[in-house]
Amino acid sequence: MTNAPLHLSVISQGRYDETAHGKYDKNYYYPTSAGKNIDIYMFDTSFNFSYDDFSDVYAQCDMSIEQGKVTKLSSVKVCYGYQINDHGAMTSAAAVGKLNGVAKNANIHGILLKENEQDPASLENIIDDIIAGLQYAKENQLFKPNKTILNFSIGLPVLISELENNEKYKLLQQLFNDMNDMGIVIVAGAGNDGVNTYDTNNNMAIIPCALDNVICTGGAANFFIPQIAIDEIDSSFYKLGNLPAYGNIPPFISNTGERVDIYGPMIFHYRGSITVPNEILQGVDLSMLMVEEATEQYTRLKHEEFMRGTSYTSPIVAGVAATIMSEHPDMEFNSQTMLEYLTNIGEKDILLDIPEGCPNVFINNGNTEDNPYISEISYKNSIRKIRINTMKSNLIALIILFVLEIAFVIIGIFLFENKSLKIMFCTIQLPFIIIFAFAPCNSICIYDYISKTFSSYITPIIPIPYTCLSTKINFNEISGFYLQKFKRGTKKYYKLGVKSINETEQIIAIGQDTSCKLEFDNSLDYMPYILRALLI
């Protein structure tokens, strides 16, 4: 996706540094599956799925819950609570929207928590509503295992003593445990109050974020970068989201703490429709606005705004999870395994102002390999480190290959009765016998950063055409190799390089093949190697 909103481009590339990488890449790189066949259930206080941003996906209100009572909905696109607002529509757009969304092919389901947001007493019922919704879904088997994500762009303060002793909160935790065991991924926003999500000193927790088996998402952004207005950033972007109060607008400071698992953009560039109650527009010259529809109660406007808050961070992370699940349909994800996966591919220890000892991971969707500029940007996220085993020969492999080739020749001699055919057949096979008899093999050990496993491969030295940019490097100065897959148009290419002990990287080869001849100085001997760079 070209000219993408900031919240999309920043999650599909490594840490940006203008001094090293030049102009910011405004593309959004994501898999073509894009969340296909994955269901995202949004627990929120209002939804309007009639907007064009949802025209390409399944998007409907599935149930309305008030004071713990569930009402099933069918073919409903618009479901508001006591007030007309678009919080649920915008958070849903961050997850799946055509213009704004991370997982553009995922299904979106609205779970309406129909409580009066202006009444603090009514907000207490939201926990009852969540419990009722989860119980209803569990009893009616609404959530598909390993294909479902639950998003909570809400956070409620609760005393830790109540959390540990109150039966209602115990039941909520048990339901989340049950969902996790069923293969459901649960994501929640950390909140915007600048507090610890699980503060034992003040006996206060933010739920559902602080509960077990919930991926708790904090917000990161430098709100004062001028380039944000054109959906670009500089290297100062990577810090805890902190927007001071301005006029009547309260401060927005991401919550933190040991229970905040991962951070994502706290800025969401929304481009689409909004619905505004007419009483709010009294005295406003509508000719100055882009009106899409007007009724006696509300006016629908075309709108663009940079939204802020972890309410949007959470569905962005949920959207990334949906793209991963659709891209790996055979993998069984729940909250725990998804968090582990996101942590492995995320950008680690790049955020400023995160409390010491707390997780410091910025979300990445793992599609940096589709970015042609990414090899110098993000070494550890998507690139495999390769180390060569100095033992060049594998006698068992050579003997097996040699014996099989001899057997093949003997069988051919008996099959052909014509003498000239026998001579021709043997002549053709002779080069293969020589190769298998005398060509050494390399043992290559590849370390995969994502799975954290080593894999060994035996590869015979058979030259394959490749554009080698450098053929001689100092073996003693190498800390590892990397192989990067990228695209130019519709064609796939491979970039092979080395990482030196002083952390600099040198591209060795680039082309559509995956092999390159290398010479290592100062190794055990000076025999040329062929490195068959294997993509795993």
Convert the pLDDT of each residue in 454-508 to its tens digit.
333 333 333 333 333 434 445 455 555 555 555 555 555 555 565 665 656 555 5
What does the DSSP assignment read for 73-99? Answer: EEEE-EEE-SS---HHHHHHHHHH-TT
Model pTM score: 0.71
Confidence of residue 403 (pLDDT cuts 50, 70, 90): confident
Q: What is the pLDDT of residue 526?
A: 24
Going by pLDDT thresholds of 50, 70 and 90, the confidence category of residue 264 is very high
CA–CA dist 316, 296 (Å, integer) = 34
Listed range (36-40, 87-91, 190-194, 388-392) with the worst mean pLDDT: 388-392
CA dist., res. 491 & res. 486, Å (int): 9
Closest listed residue to residue 385, CA positions, set 474, 477, 498: 498
Q: What is the mean pLDDT of the chain?
A: 78
Q: Which of 83-87, 305-309, 358-362 has the lowest mean pLDDT?
A: 83-87
Share of the chain above pLDDT 70, in %: 71
- Give the C-alpha separation, 142 to 107, whole Å: 13
Tell me: pLDDT of 94 over 90. Answer: yes
Name beta bridge partners: 445: 387, 456
- Rounded Cα distance between 406 and 317, Å, is 57
Handedness of CA 347, 349, 351, 357 (dihedral sign): positive
pLDDT band at 104 (very low <50, low <70, confident <90, very high): very high
Separation CA 306–CA 297 (nearest Å): 26
pLDDT in tens, 113-159: 988 766 666 667 899 999 999 999 999 999 999 999 999 999 999 99
pLDDT at 437: 55
| Res 294 pLDDT > 90 | no
Residue with more model confidence, 59 or 475: 59
Measure Cα distances from 431 to 82, 414, 427, 434 in Å: 82, 20, 8, 5
Please, what is the angle between helix 419-438 and helix 395-415, to 10°? 180
d(CA 260, CA 79): 31
Which runs of E-coded beta strand occur in 125-284?
148-152, 156-159, 184-189, 198-199, 204-207, 215-220, 242-243, 252-253, 262-265, 267-277
What is the H or E stretch that residue 457 is in?
strand 453-460
Q: What is the dihedral of CA 67, 71, 77, 83, to 10 degrees?
A: -20
For residue 161, the model assigns a pLDDT of 93
Q: What angle do CA 16, 20, 21 make, to 5 degrees?
A: 60
DSSP secondary structure code for residue 363 in this structure: -
pLDDT of residue 15: 86
User: How many other C-beta atoms lie within 10 A of the C-beta of residue 83?
Assistant: 12
Q: Which residue has the tokens 């991924």?
A: 185
Beta bridge partners of 150: 41, 186
Q: pLDDT higher for 437 or 449?
A: 437
454 or 303: which carries more pLDDT confidence?
A: 303
pLDDT of residue 392: 35
CATH architecture of 6-367: 3-Layer(aba) Sandwich (3.40)
pLDDT for residue 433 is more than 70: no
Q: How far is Cα of residue 227 from the mean position of the Cα atoms in its chain?
A: 24
Q: Where does residue 293 rank: exposed (0-12), middle (13-18), buried (19+ CB within 10 A)? A: exposed
Which range among 4-18, 337-351, 515-529 shows the weakest confidence by mean pLDDT?
A: 515-529
Around Cβ 85, how many Cβ atoms within 10 Å? Answer: 19
How confident is the model at residue 504, as a pLDDT? 61
Strand ranges in 153-208 using DSSP code E only, listed in sequence order: 156-159, 184-189, 198-199, 204-207
**How far apart are the C-alpha atoms of 408 and 429, rounded to whole Å?**
9
Q: Measure the CA–CA gap between 454 and 427, rounded to whole angstroms.
A: 41
Per-residue pLDDT band at 209 (split at 50, 70, 90)? very high
